[in-house]
Amino acid sequence: MKILLCFGTRPEAIKMAPVYHALKEQKSFEVLVCVTAQHREMLDQVLHFFEMVPDYDLNLMQANQTLNQLSASILSAIDAVLLDAKPNLVLVHGDTTTAAMVALAAFHLGIQVGHVEAGLRSFNKQAPFPEEINRQFTSKIADIHFTPTTLATQNLLNEGIASKDVFQTGNTVIDALLWTSAKIKEEQYSHPEIEVLKKTIPLHKKMVLVTGHRRENYGEGFENVCSALLTIAKRDDVSIVYPVHLNPNVQDVVNQKLAHQENIYLIAPVSYPAFVWLMQHSFLILTDSGGIQEEAPTLGKPVLVTRSVSERPEGIAAGFSTLVGTDKNKIIETIHSILDDFTGFEKITNPYGDGNAAQQIVDSLVKKDR
């Protein structure tokens, strides 16, 4: 069986890396990789770290392109790749524009589609935007669905997806996290970004690690988050570390509000191993990221989610994550409470998986190929 993995963003690459390497171990599969480079620099870092060399690189990232422009570019460019590679199966991931458009193109050519990290739902088409619709759209096209949790599986069954086409595997991001954590711990491993961080950030303080990039938080949402962080930064026992997303809608607000403030460290986006190191050394994480909500439980880190709804409710139900939205006062109160009272989770069982998801995906494909 010839399998083509298609992805375009850093999170997709991180989560597809374990699948790629597990598939390469299976001699009955021929594995090819196509990247759209929906993200460029951040994607390239992950490709290098996880030792993945694309067979096709569409290099479609353009400054300030609209979602419609990106969608049209992917749909047009992937056509030639699919016709050249002639895969039996295309694997896409999650909720990106790349996943949705590649799935549509494969469908048009009669090529089967497998959807990794399928079945997540917020049931609010505006949040996350446009990811919720991308994911639902991809589910309608996919022939094989690899779900991370029981709830995600049930969502698909409720939508009429046949149970024989759904395989619950856990989330491959846990595979990637555990592999990366182990690599960082190796005595001979050295990473220049990590060495700089060790010299820059006061590790004797409680680190509040911050990320943010969601479109629905542009403007007032990011301003509220920044205002809350200014209040938290007044504590002497806290350091706020914020790798600022490259998007101008994020950078302009964050730099205007938080630059040159005591106890606040605005840094450039870091590579995946450096970010894992930051998560390991954080006290809590404030984020609108989906992947971090999945990773943090394994590391025992509480997460405050700056969104009104999450398509990853399992972490919230288990007590690992808390929805705070972009309400300034709620963010301040919740961070203070965790900084003052949190002593660790009683039991750490990550609802998103145990690090064996990629192998389960491969095992499922082997069975279907027989």
Identify whether residues 166 and 39 lie together within a single domain.
yes
Sheet holding 144-147, edge to edge: 56-57, 30-35, 2-7, 89-93, 112-116, 144-147, 166-168
pLDDT at 335: 98
Q: Say whether the peptide bond before residue 128 is cis (omega within 30 degrees of 0).
A: yes
Instruction: Dig out the tokens for 73 from the structure.
Output: 């570019």
In 3-96, which ranges are continuous DSSP H helix?
10-24, 41-49, 67-85
pLDDT at 39: 74
Active site residue 25: no
Q: What is the pLDDT of residues 139-163, one digit of tens each?
A: 999 999 999 999 999 999 999 999 9
Res. 276 pLDDT band, cuts 50 70 90: very high
pTM beyond cutoff 0.85 = yes
Res. 72 pLDDT band, cuts 50 70 90: very high
Catalytic residue, from 215, 235, 281, 336: name it. Answer: 215
Q: How far apart are CA 87 and CA 284, in angstroms?
A: 43
Q: What is the pLDDT of residues 80-111, one digit of tens each?
A: 999 999 999 999 999 999 999 999 999 999 99
Q: How far apart are CA 64 and CA 72, in angstroms?
A: 15
Mean per-residue pLDDT for 18-31?
96
Does 294 score more than 90 pLDDT?
Answer: yes
Q: How far apart are CA 245 and CA 236, in angstroms?
A: 26
Residue 368: alpha-carbon gap to chain centroid: 28
Q: How far apart are CA 136 and CA 289, in angstroms?
A: 19
Mean per-residue pLDDT for 60-82?
94
Least confident piece of the model among 3-12, 38-47, 269-278, 281-290: 38-47
284 HSE (CA, 13 A, CB side): 25
Range of the domain at 219: 191-341
Residue 243 lies inside a defined structural domain of this protein? yes
Residue 185 lies inside a defined structural domain of this protein? no
Give me the residue label for tokens 């996350």: 128
Identify whether residues 25 and 159 lie together within a single domain.
yes
Res. 64 pLDDT band, cuts 50 70 90: confident
Identify whether residues 160 and 245 lie together within a single domain.
no
Catalytic residue, from 21, 213, 235, 336: name it. Answer: 213
Identify whether residues 9 and 103 lie together within a single domain.
yes
Give me the residue label for tokens 């997460």: 303
Identify whether residues 125 and 203 lie together within a single domain.
no
Mean per-residue pLDDT for 231-251?
93
Q: How far apart are CA 10 and CA 42, in angstroms?
A: 6
Residue 182 lies inside a defined structural domain of this protein? no
Mean per-residue pLDDT for 114-138?
96
Sheet holding 264-267, edge to edge: 264-267, 238-243, 206-210, 284-287, 303-305, 321-323
Residue 186 lies inside a defined structural domain of this protein? no
Q: Residue 115: what residue type?
A: H
Does 214 score more than 90 pLDDT?
Answer: no
Q: How far apart are CA 155 and CA 123, in angstroms?
A: 10
Identify whether residues 128 and 212 lie together within a single domain.
no
Q: Is 310 helix (H, G, I), strand (E, B) or coil?
A: coil
Mean per-residue pLDDT for 65-73?
95
Mean per-residue pLDDT for 353-367?
96
pLDDT at 368: 81
The residue among 236, 213, 342, 231 whose CA lies nearest residue 290 is: 213
Catalytic residue, from 10, 39, 115, 117: name it. Answer: 117
Q: How far apart are CA 7 and CA 10, in angstroms?
A: 9
Identify whether residues 125 and 195 lie together within a single domain.
no
Tell me if 240 sits within 8 A of 232, measured CB to CB.
Answer: yes
Residue 125 lies inside a defined structural domain of this protein? yes
Identify whether residues 196 and 255 lie together within a single domain.
yes
Identify whether residues 154 and 295 lie together within a single domain.
no
Active site residue 245: yes
Catalytic residue, from 245, 307, 312, 314: name it. Answer: 245
344 HSE (CA, 13 A, CB side): 6
Q: How far apart are CA 57 and CA 36, in angstroms?
A: 6
Identify whether residues 114 and 211 lie together within a single domain.
no
Residue 346 lies inside a defined structural domain of this protein? no
What's the domain count of the chain?
2
Mean pLDDT in the chain?
95
CATH number of 241's domain:
3.40.50.2000
Task: Please name the helix (run of DSSP H) or strand (run of DSSP E) that holds residue 101, with its range, or none.
Answer: helix 97-108
Identify whether residues 97 and 212 lie together within a single domain.
no
Identify whether residues 140 and 246 lie together within a single domain.
no
Residue 176 lies inside a defined structural domain of this protein? no
The residue among 132, 177, 143, 159 whose CA lies nearest residue 294 is: 177
Active site residue 117: yes
Q: How far apart are CA 234 and CA 57, in angstroms?
A: 46
Residue 349 lies inside a defined structural domain of this protein? no
Catalytic residue, from 10, 39, 93, 95: name it. Answer: 95
Instruction: Dig out the tokens for 47 from the structure.
Output: 């490709």
Active site residue 12: no
pLDDT at 153: 98
Give me the residue label for tokens 């609209």: 66
Res. 370 pLDDT band, cuts 50 70 90: low
Res. 61 pLDDT band, cuts 50 70 90: confident
pLDDT at 24: 97
Res. 270 pLDDT band, cuts 50 70 90: very high
